């Protein structure tokens, strides 16, 4: 008798779960991520000029995990959110120390006609609008599209993400528009530490293009810590064309950093071109060249040559072999990585890696 009662109770509980599931059928939460790691060789990897062989996380794409979800609000509207954290797969640590959701932490509203508004920590309009035009896909090894290791200790890069963001995205036929504003949150000054970003994109099948403008205002009124930056400005343009098996890409960045002191302005232009060819549905070869023109200063004008061979075992799992060679003029240091300044006027990097998406 006790077994029958228990069975009836279990069936009742299961029915309750099914009913609850049906009631919440218009909502969804997805766990997703990307695990990418490889073995890398780097020449001139330290102050003494020695080379190194190491395990590295995120050779092709930054390793990450996250949650994203939505709720249908009716009338073509839905609530949306995302939480995303970077991972250092080689150590298991957070990609950014002491910040769990360093990549994304936002909530928003999306309308199928008018577009979406998101609030929180997020990638910028420039970052997402320009991503399709980097043949190496913003790879940590080896792409300078988001940031180049400008010689002389500088790092002239893209306004990639920020906290305190309000972001709009809309798509109207082949045209897409976007805008980002980040609150500076400096008491007594709405302008200090604020950030602005605008983008315009076009995609008509085989041809795509984008143009963005962004400006980051320095915290000129802050005293803790002191900040002598007036503003940092970036202008980006990109274009691509899909011939079928062959796709070609081109991109440009104009970088400008000014100061409230008498320090010289930091100015540079970055150009890149590249192509990807699908030999088979599973095997792709990608190549790119990134050239930076540093105006004034050290005149190092670094250049990076990148290549990647990729084999897709499935839609989620791929193996790759990437190589990069960077050099700079006038004895300035340079690195194939966007994250290090380098220890010589040239550097070679090779990485063999494996990536899985879930």
Residue range 103-118, pLDDT digits in tens: 999 999 999 999 999 9
pLDDT band at 5 (very low <50, low <70, confident <90, very high): very low
Comparing CA positions, the residue from 187, 235, 197, 196 lying closest to residue 217 is 196
Quick check: pTM over 0.85?
yes
pLDDT of residue 73: 96
> Which tokens hold the place of 181?
């504003």
Q: How confident is the prediction for the chain on average, in pLDDT?
A: 90
Mean of pLDDT values over 80-108: 93
CATH class of the domain comprising 123-357: mainly beta
Query: What are the start-end ranges of the H helices in the chain?
Result: 2-23, 125-130
Region 80-103: mean pLDDT is 92
Confidence of residue 126 (pLDDT cuts 50, 70, 90): very high
Quote the pLDDT of residue 298. 65
Residue 3 has pLDDT above 50, yes or no: no
- Tell which wins on pLDDT, 155 or 239: 239
Strand runs labelled E in the chain: 27-42, 52-57, 64-74, 77-88, 93-94, 104-111, 115-123, 161-172, 175-182, 195-204, 207-217, 229-242, 246-259, 266-278, 283-295, 303-312, 317-327, 346-357
Point out the least confidently predicted range of 27-36, 78-87, 116-125, 257-266: 257-266
Domain boundaries, the chain: 123-357
Both tokens of 140, joined, read 């940590």
Is the pLDDT score of 30 beyond 80? yes
């Amino acid at each position: 008798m006790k077994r029958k009662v228990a069975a009836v109770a279990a069936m009742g509980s299961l029915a309750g779960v099914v009913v609850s599931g049906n009631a919440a059928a218009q909502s969804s939460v997805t766990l997703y991520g990307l695990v990418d790691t490889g073995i890398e060789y780097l020449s001139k990897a330290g102050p003494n000029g020695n080379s190194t062989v190491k395990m590295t996380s995120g050779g092709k794409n930054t390793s990450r995990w996250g949650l994203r979800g939505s709720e249908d609000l009716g009338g073509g509207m839905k609530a949306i959110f995302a939480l995303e954290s970077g991972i250092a797969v080689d150590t298991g640590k957070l990609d950014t120390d002491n910040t769990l959701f360093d990549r994304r932490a936002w909530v928003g509203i999306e309308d199928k006609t008018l577009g979406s508004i998101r609030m929180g920590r997020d990638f910028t309009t420039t970052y997402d609008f320009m991503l399709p035009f980097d043949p190496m896909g913003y790879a940590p090894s080896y792409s300078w599209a988001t940031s180049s290791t400008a010689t002389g200790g500088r790092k002239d890069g893209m306004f990639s993400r920020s906290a305190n963001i309000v972001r709009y995205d809309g798509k109207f036929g082949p045209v897409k528009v976007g805008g980002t504003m980040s609150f500076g949150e400096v008491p007594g000054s709405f302008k200090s530490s604020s950030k602005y970003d605008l983008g315009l994109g076009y995609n008509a099948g085989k041809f795509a293009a984008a143009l963005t403008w962004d400006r980051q205002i320095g915290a000129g009124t802050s005293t803790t810590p002191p900040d002598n930056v007036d503003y940092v400005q970036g202008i980006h343009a990109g274009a691509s064309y899909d011939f079928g098996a062959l796709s070609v890409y081109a991109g440009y960045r104009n970088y400008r950093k000014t100061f409230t002191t008498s320090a010289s302005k930091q100015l540079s232009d970055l150009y890149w071109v590249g192509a990807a060819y699908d030999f088979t549905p599973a095997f792709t070869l990608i190549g790119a060249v990134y050239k930076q023109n540093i105006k004034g200063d050290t005149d190092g004008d670094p250049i990076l040559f990148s290549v990647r061979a990729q084999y897709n075992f499935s839609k989620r799992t791929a193996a790759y072999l990437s190589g990069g060679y960077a050099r700079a003029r006038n004895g300035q240091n340079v690195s194939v990585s966007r994250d290090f300044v380098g220890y010589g006027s040239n550097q070679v990097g090779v990485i063999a890696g494996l990536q899985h998406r879930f």
